[in-house]
Amino acid sequence: MLFEVWAPSAEQVTLQWAGTRAAEPPLPLERDTERDGWWRARAQARDGDRYAYRLDGGPPLPDPRAARLPDGPGGPGAVVDHTRFPWRHPWPGRPLPGAVLYELHIGTYTPEGAFDAAADRLAHLADLGITHVSLLPVCPFPGRHGWGYDGIAPWAVHEPYGGPDGLKRFVDAAHGHGLGVVLDVVHNHLGPSGNLLPSFGPYFTDTHHTPWGTAVNLDAPGSDEVRHYFIGSALAWLRDYRIDGLRLDAVHALHDSRARHFLAELSAAVDALAGHLRRPLFLIAESDRNDPLTTAPRASGGHGLHAQWNDDFHHALHTALTGESQGYYADFARAPLAALAKTLTSGFFHDGTYSSFRGRTHGAPRDPRRTPPYRLLCYAQTHDQIGNRALGDRLAATLSPGLLACAAALVLCAPFTPMLFMGEEWGARTPWQYFTDHTDPQLAEAVRAGRRREFAAHDWGGTDADWPDPQDPATRDRCVLDWSEPDVAPHAALLAWHRTLLRLRRELPALTDPDPARTQVIHDEKARWLSLRRGPVHVTVNLSHDSVATIPLGTPTGPAPRLHVLAAWGEGGGTGGIDVAGADGGVVRVGAESVVVVGEDPLRGGKSVA
């Protein structure tokens, strides 16, 4: 087996065996004559053998490219022979167009907080109508429980979750259910605890800074190898673990002044791997720039990523549902239904408009010819938008089932790629709070203090006495989904409603039509209703707490369409408060906090009630 490591400043590198081979003598590595700064040696090794590197006689350090860290961050790595895993399900892949994503955190999806336990719940998602499970990061981090965004080993898998084989079993099980798997990866920083990469080389630079500290070195001296390091880890997830796509965390924090941006280099490598593997692969960016170049083709100067999150849709929908106006919600809260209408038809709300939160203009217009709607992800809730609130309260903590049903209809019938956050489909009441398990007391206290400052600055609710301690194990335990909820009211009705909407999305081509010209929105800000038209399908929501809305669905010049109900949520989850006028009416009357999906003839479909 070939052992190799990049350590450009070292004068001597040795491989130190560990575990059952700890008594064996160290193995000197030789300089690679063809690659500057690289060291290499061949040795007999089997799956599971543990090892570390010593640089110039220093302490043993884990391999930066170790696929397994059995003892956690800072411990020796272990050899992983990827060819040994017995994959059961051939998988042709599942592309992004037409997808419905489900954001899932392994550590709280089940009480066990492990891959195998989560895999046992995948039938629920397949039955619901999900197409892709989107996992929060699974790289090693300190302790057992955490969100995963402070990982320190981009090639390895968190051992308490089940390690590399556990992830492979989860992916294989998902594919057996027809589900693709998306993995959240973090390239913009590494966690502060156990990060030993600087010992090996210039992986970080003081030229740029991020909210989490020193930036990853993407453009300073030595950055060629750093870029290869992160691109290589991305390809390994897609190749060795059969992952279908990657969600790239906070790409706006990837500071790169080189002529060819890191993201363009990464997307080209992923597209090439997809051609080699003969299955679709994709990259989804989390970006707050509202920059169409993120997903524009590389040939026209873009980065060539396949999709990006759209927080503007979330902010507009959130303000329309809740009336909140603090922080970054301020611009959307001035006229939330107008903001929602703009995002539904244009994608971005801030597309060169002034952002009071930033104190400047923000974003750029999106060209629908270059960026079809499915390249934007829409959602009512995410791990960030819930977890960065002081109490980690979901929408279900304050909104009625009717308003939750309205939110679901707008997300799942929007022209974009929809995404649900775990438990959202039944209106889960469990919070999603920020939790950590740092073993360094000083770091733990710094995290506590930092979160309190953030909560106070954003006025997310509660007081210092109410805010959960990230280090308290009870904080994580509160976030574990309660799997008894889906069987009882009102959760069971909400779950059935989501199933109905996802069935319509599969059966009605209009709901996945990529033509932006076939999406129109009308709304009444004062009366608090909005109607989204997707070709012959109308999704009409009444967000008013106490008033019936009468909404004309015909055009000013054409005849009123013949309408029939495809799905409806009225008072109590039935059709109470819903009235669709007769053949010549073209009018719907929708009760307070209710939603109806109607189709025009010649579209056919029976009445379906959650």
Active site residues: 249, 286
Residues paired with 2 in a beta bridge: 42
**Short-list 559, 527, 506, 486, CA closest to 100:** 506
Signed CA dihedral, 287, 292, 295, 298: sign only: negative
Q: Which residues are annotated as a binding site?
A: 247-252, 311-315, 383-388
- Residue 535: its H or E element: none
- Say if residue 490 is preceded by a cis peptide, omega within 30 of 0: yes
Count Cβ atoms within 10 A of the Cβ of residue 287 and give its class: 0-12 exposed, 13-18 middle, 19 or more buried.
Answer: buried
**Short-list 558, 565, 601, CA closest to 581:** 565
Residue 390 — φ and ψ, nearest 5°? -55, -40
Q: How far is CA 433 from CA 52, 108, 470, in A?
A: 36, 11, 8
- Say if residue 368 is preceded by a cis peptide, omega within 30 of 0: no
Spell out a b/e string for 50-70, using b for 16 or more CB atoms within 10 Å of the CB, else e.
bbbbbbeeeebbbbbbbbbbb
* Pairing, β 549-552 against β 563-569: unpaired
Q: Which residues contact residue 377 at a Cβ distance below 8 angstroms, ignoring those fewer than 6 apart?
A: 101, 284, 307, 308, 309, 310, 416, 417, 418, 419
CA–CA separation, 92 and 89 (whole Å): 10
Q: How far is CA 515 from CA 335, 370, 519, 520, in A?
A: 27, 12, 8, 11
Q: Name the DSSP letter for residue 164.
A: H
What is the CA angle 407-409-410, rounded to 5? 65
Encoding tokens for residue 588? 């719907």
- Please count the other Cβ atoms lying within 10 Å of the Cβ belonging to residue 557: 5
Residues paired with 248 in a beta bridge: 185, 285
Encoding tokens for residue 373? 């709607």
Q: Name the DSSP letter for residue 351.
A: S
- SS3 of 311-348: HHHHHHHHHHHHCCCCHHHHHHHCCHHHHHHHHHHHCC
Q: Which residues are annotated as a binding site for substrate?
A: 247-252, 311-315, 383-388
**Short-list 254, 260, 257, CA closest to 285:** 254
Asked if residue 76 lies in contact with residue 60, where contact means CB atoms within 8 angstroms, the answer is yes
Encoding tokens for residue 267? 């997307």
